[in-house]
C-alpha cells in the first residue's frame, strides 16, 4: 500500500502536475489523521470496556462482601443479645449460685466482647474510583459512602465499649480469686457476683455501653442491606417486589402496619433493645417520617427523597425498662398521615 501511494506521488511529480499533487498530499494527510483518530477511538473504546469490566467485577466483589458483612453483623449481635439477657438477670437478681457453678464464663461477663470486623477493601476501592465510575452508578457510590460514615460511628462507639471492658478487667484482676479455680476462690467469686452492689453497678455500666454498640451495629447492618439493594436496583433493575424478596431471603421482617388511626394503647412492644432499621421510599415524591416511641416521645423527624434508602439512629437511652419501640408515621408535605407502622428489629419499611 505504501509503495502504491509512493508511485502515485512520483508519477505526479514527473508529470509536473504540482496542483494535483498538493491536493493529493492534503488528501493523504487527511487520511492519516482519520486513521489516527479511528485508532484513538478504538483505543478509547477498549479502555472504556476494560474500565467497565473492572467496575462490574468490583461490584460483584462488593455484593459478596456486603452479604458476608451482613452475616457477620448478625453473629456479633447474637453475642450481645446474650450479654444483654444476662445483665438483665443480674439487675433482676435472678442469677443463682447454681448458675455460676454451671457456667464458668459468667464470671467474665463484663469483660467479654465481640468486635465487628467487616470486609472494607473493595468498598473503599469503589469510593476511591468515584471519578471514573459511570454516572448511572452514582447512587451506589452514595450508598457505600453511607456505609463508611456508619463505620466511623461504629468504631467511635466501640472505643467507648472497649475502654469499659478494659477497666472492668482491671477491676476484677484486683481480686486474687478471679485468677484462681480452687473451691475457696470460687466461693468468694460467686459471693461477689451475687451480693456485692459494686458488681451490679459494673454490670449496668457495661450494659449501657453494649446498648450503644448494639445500636450502631444494627445501623451498619441496615446500611449494608441498603447498599446491596441499591446495587440490585441500579445494576440489575430489581423491581420493588424483587427487593422485598431480597430482604426476606436474609430474614429481614416488614414493619407492622397500624394505620393512621392507631391509639397508643394499641401499640405493641416490638423491640426489646435499641436497634436501627431500614427505610425506603419507592414513590416519586419526597415523604416525611415522624418517629416516636410508644409513649409519644420523639425519636426523629426525617425526610426520604424518591427512590432512596435511609437508616436512622434508634430511640435514645431509656434504661433497662425503657421504651425501645419506634412508631413511624408517614406524612406528606402538608402533614397529612399516609400510614403508621411499628418498627421491628432487623426490619424494613418500604413505601410504594
CB 246 within 8 A of CB 238: yes
Cα 141 from Cα 274, distance rounded (Å):
28
Nearest 10 degrees: CA dihedral of 197, 200, 202, 203?
170
Q: What percent of the chain has pLDDT over 90?
A: 67
Cα 191 from Cα 246, distance rounded (Å):
50
Same domain membership, residue 347 and residue 219: no
CB 16 within 8 A of CB 28: no
With H, G, I as helix, E, B as strand and everything else as coil, classify residue 79.
helix
| pLDDT tens column, 281-315 | 999 999 999 998 888 888 889 999 999 999 987 77
Closest CA to 70 of 115, 118, 113: 118
C-alpha cell of 232? Answer: 440490585
Is 3 domain-assigned? yes
Is 208 domain-assigned? yes
Domain final residue, candidates 238, 262, 277: 238
Same domain membership, residue 157 and residue 298: no
Confidence of residue 37 (pLDDT cuts 50, 70, 90): confident
Those residues whose C-beta lies under 8 Å from the C-beta of residue 52, and which sit 6 or more positions away, are 134
Cα 352 from Cα 332, distance rounded (Å):
13
With H, G, I as helix, E, B as strand and everything else as coil, classify residue 94.
coil
C-alpha cell of 160? Answer: 467507648
Range of the domain at 325: 253-352
On the question of pLDDT at 134 being above 70, the answer is yes
Find the CATH number of the domain harbouring 339.
2.60.40.3110
Is 16 domain-assigned? yes
Lowest mean pLDDT of 24-38, 198-212, 279-293, name the range.
Answer: 24-38
With H, G, I as helix, E, B as strand and everything else as coil, classify residue 287.
strand
Task: Give 255's DSSP letter.
Answer: P
Lowest mean pLDDT of 62-66, 198-202, 315-319, 329-333, name the range.
Answer: 315-319
| pLDDT tens column, 256-265 | 999 999 877 6
Average pLDDT value for residue range 159-169:
97
pLDDT, mean over the chain: 88
Number of domains in the chain: 2
* Phi-psi map region of 328: left, alpha, beta (phi>0 left; psi -120 to 50 alpha): beta
Average pLDDT value for residue range 247-257:
96
On the question of pLDDT at 235 being above 90, the answer is yes
Same domain membership, residue 284 and residue 333: yes
162: exposed, middle or buried (Cβ count in 10 Å: 0-12, 13-18, 19+): middle
Amino acid at each position: 500500500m505504501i509503495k502504491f501511494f509512493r508511485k502515485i506521488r512520483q508519477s505526479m511529480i514527473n508529470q509536473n502536475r504540482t496542483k494535483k499533487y498538493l491536493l493529493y498530499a492534503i488528501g493523504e494527510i487527511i487520511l492519516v489523521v482519520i486513521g489516527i483518530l479511528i485508532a484513538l477511538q478504538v483505543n478509547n473504546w477498549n479502555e472504556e470496556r476494560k474500565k467497565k469490566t473492572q467496575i462490574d467485577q468490583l461490584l460483584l466483589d462488593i455484593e459478596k462482601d456486603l452479604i458476608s458483612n451482613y452475616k457477620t453483623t448478625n453473629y456479633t449481635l447474637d453475642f450481645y443479645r446474650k450479654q444483654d439477657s444476662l445483665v438483665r438477670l443480674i439487675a433482676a437478681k435472678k442469677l443463682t449460685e447454681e448458675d455460676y457453678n454451671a457456667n464458668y464464663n459468667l464470671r467474665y461477663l463484663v469483660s467479654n466482647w465481640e468486635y465487628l470486623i467487616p470486609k472494607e477493601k473493595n468498598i473503599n476501592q469503589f469510593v476511591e474510583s468515584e471519578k471514573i465510575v459511570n454516572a448511572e452508578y452514582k447512587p451506589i457510590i452514595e450508598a457505600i459512602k453511607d456505609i463508611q460514615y456508619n463505620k466511623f460511628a461504629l468504631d467511635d462507639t466501640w472505643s467507648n465499649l472497649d475502654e469499659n471492658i478494659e477497666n472492668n478487667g482491671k477491676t476484677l484482676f484486683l481480686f486474687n480469686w478471679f485468677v484462681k479455680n480452687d473451691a475457696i476462690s470460687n466461693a468468694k467469686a460467686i459471693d461477689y457476683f451475687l451480693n456485692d452492689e459494686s458488681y451490679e453497678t459494673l454490670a449496668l455500666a457495661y450494659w449501657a455501653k453494649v446498648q450503644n454498640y448494639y445500636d450502631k451495629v444494627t445501623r451498619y447492618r441496615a446500611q449494608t442491606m441498603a447498599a446491596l439493594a441499591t446495587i440490585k436496583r441500579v445494576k440489575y433493575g430489581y423491581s420493588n417486589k424483587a427487593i422485598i424478596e431480597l430482604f426476606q431471603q436474609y430474614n429481614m421482617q416488614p414493619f407492622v402496619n397500624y394505620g393512621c388511626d392507631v391509639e397508643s394503647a394499641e401499640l405493641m412492644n416490638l423491640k426489646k433493645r435499641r436497634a436501627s432499621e431500614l427505610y425506603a421510599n419507592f414513590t416519586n415524591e419526597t415523604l416525611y417520617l415522624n418517629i416516636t416511641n410508644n409513649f409519644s416521645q420523639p425519636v426523629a423527624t426525617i425526610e426520604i427523597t424518591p427512590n432512596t434508602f435511609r437508616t436512622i439512629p434508634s430511640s435514645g437511652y431509656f434504661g433497662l425498662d425503657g421504651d425501645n419501640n419506634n412508631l413511624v408515621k408517614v406524612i406528606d408535605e402538608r402533614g397529612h398521615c399516609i400510614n403508621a407502622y411499628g418498627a421491628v428489629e432487623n426490619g424494613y419499611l418500604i413505601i410504594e
